[in-house]
Amino acid sequence: MKKYKILVACGAGIATSTVVCNRVENLVKDNNINAEVIQCKIAEVASKQSEADIIVSTTILPTTYQIPAIIATAYITGIGMESLDKKILDHLQ
C-alpha cells in the first residue's frame, strides 16, 4: 500500500494549518488511506514538494508547484467542507 505525503501549509505554519492538519489527518484515517500529514509554512513548500504528493494550503499560493495544490479555506470557514474532502480524496485514490 502506497504511503502518501500531504503538505499542509499556512502563512506561519502555526494557526490555520493546525486546524487543517487535524481535519486532513482525520480524513485520511477515516478513509483508510496510508498518509503522513506534514504541517509547514507556505514558504517551505517549494523545498518540500519533491517528497510530497499533494499540497493543502490555507493561504494564497505564491507560485505554481510540481504537485497538485488545493486551497483549504473551506476548512476554516466551515462552508463546502465535504466538497473539499472529496477533492483531496480524489487526488489520493
Point out the residues that are catalytic. 10
Amino acid at 1: M
The Cα-based distances of 32 to 13, 39, 46, 81 in angstroms read: 26, 20, 28, 19
Of the candidates 70, 68, 64, 62, the residue with the CA atom closest to the CA atom of residue 20 = 70
